[in-house]
Amino acid sequence: GIQVEQSPPDLILQEGANSTLRCNFSDSVNNLQWFHQNPWGQLINLFYIPSGTKQNGRLSATTVATERYSLLYISSSQTTDSGVYFCAVLYTGTASKLTFGTGTRLQVTL
Partner 1 sequence: GAVVSQHPSRVICKSGTSVKIECRSLDFQATTMFWYRQFPKQSLMLMATSNEGSKATYEQGVEKDKFLINHASLTLSTLTVTSAHPEDSSFYICSAVTGSLNTEAFFGQGTRLTVV
Residues 66-85 close enough to bind partner 1 by CB under 8 A: none
Q: With contacts defined by CB under 8 A, how many residues of the chain interact with partner 1?
A: 25
Task: For residue 47, list its beta bridge partners.
Answer: 34
Report the C-alpha gap between 57 and 62 in whole angstroms: 14
Q: Find the DSSP H helices in 3-110.
A: none
Q: Which of 13, 21, 74, 88 binds partner 1 (CB under 8 A)?
A: 88
Q: Which is nearer to partner 1, 33 or 77 (CB)?
A: 33
**Using the rule CB under 8 A, is 45 a contact of partner 1?**
yes
Long-range contacts of range 60-64, CB-CB < 8 Å, 24 or more positions apart? 61/34, 63/32
Where do contacts with partner 1 occur on this chain (CB under 8 A)? 30-31, 33, 35, 40-43, 45, 48, 50, 86, 88, 90, 92, 95-103, 105
